[in-house]
Structure 1
Amino acid sequence: MEKVKEKLANLRSEAEASNALAEEYEAKIKQLELESTSKDHELLSIQIRAKNLEDQLDKAEAQLQLTSAKYNEADLKAEEAERTVQKLEQELIDKEQHYEDILEKYTGAKTELDELARQFDEFLI
């Protein structure tokens, strides 16, 4: 009987130790589940931030393309305007030369006319 009591005490002791170990493992499982949930939330938060950053990157790239296109268009217009300015400057030089030629002819004709008028006046006197 003594052996049975001893065996029973050993079994109770083992059962208590097993229950304590089971409770310890259950607590550890709950802790790991909480950590897993926390990590899942953190991962979801990171995924959302990554998606937002990708969206911002897409918008920035689209804006960059639009700005680049506008810059290229403005650059082409500036080049065209520069060519127009050069053309107008050359036209101005040509017109000034033409004006000087006409002025020279006018001055020559006026001088000749004045001379003829003087001679005519002398002829009449």
Structure 2
Amino acid sequence: MSVPPGAEPTLWELHRAVSQLREDLRGDLAQLAARLDQVVTQDVYRADQRATEQRIGQLESSVADLRGEQEQAAGRWEQQRREDQRQADAMRRLVLSSFVSPLLIMVVQLWLLSGGSAS
């Protein structure tokens, strides 16, 4: 129902418009109240942020400790690897000299027996 320009609304139309505004306002206030129930205070938010920062700090400390332990373990492993390599080299030299020395002595004796007595 449209109102011609210049015509004033009736009391019933005004009552209906005010009632509609009241219902809209109640719905909006209920929505706002529902949203405010989900909002926390600044104190609670700050306390939660401090707790989160504290947990992050502890985790960072734990990660740094683990990283240090890992680096120490890597250093010990590298040192052990070098020591094992030195031992393997020493064993190779020992085995080589234990086979080469008798052969060399035998060759020298054979040379001395064959060429050394003819001189």
TM-score (norm 2): 0.53
Structure 2 partner of 1:41: 72
Note if 1:60 corresponds to 2:116: no
Structure 2: runs of 5 or more not aligned: 1-36, 115-119
Higher relative contact order (CA 8 A, sep 6+): 2
Task: Provide runs of 4+ in structure 1 moved above 4 Å.
Answer: 74-78
Distance 1:64 1:10 in 2: 80
Distance 1:43 1:73 in 2: 44
> Structure 1 vs Structure 2: percent identity of aligned residues?
4
Q: Secondary structure at the match of 1:62?
A: helix
Amino acid corresponding to residue 34 of structure 1 in structure 2: D
Amino acid corresponding to residue 64 of structure 1 in structure 2: V
Amino acid corresponding to residue 100 of structure 2 in structure 1: A
Residue 72 (structure 1) shift: 2.6
Distance 2:64 2:46 in 1: 26
Distance 1:50 1:25 in 2: 37
Structure 1 partner of 2:22: none
RMSD of equivalent CA atoms: 2.8
Residue 75 (structure 1) shift: 5.6
- Find the structure with the greater CA-based Rg: 1
Structure 1 partner of 2:53: 22
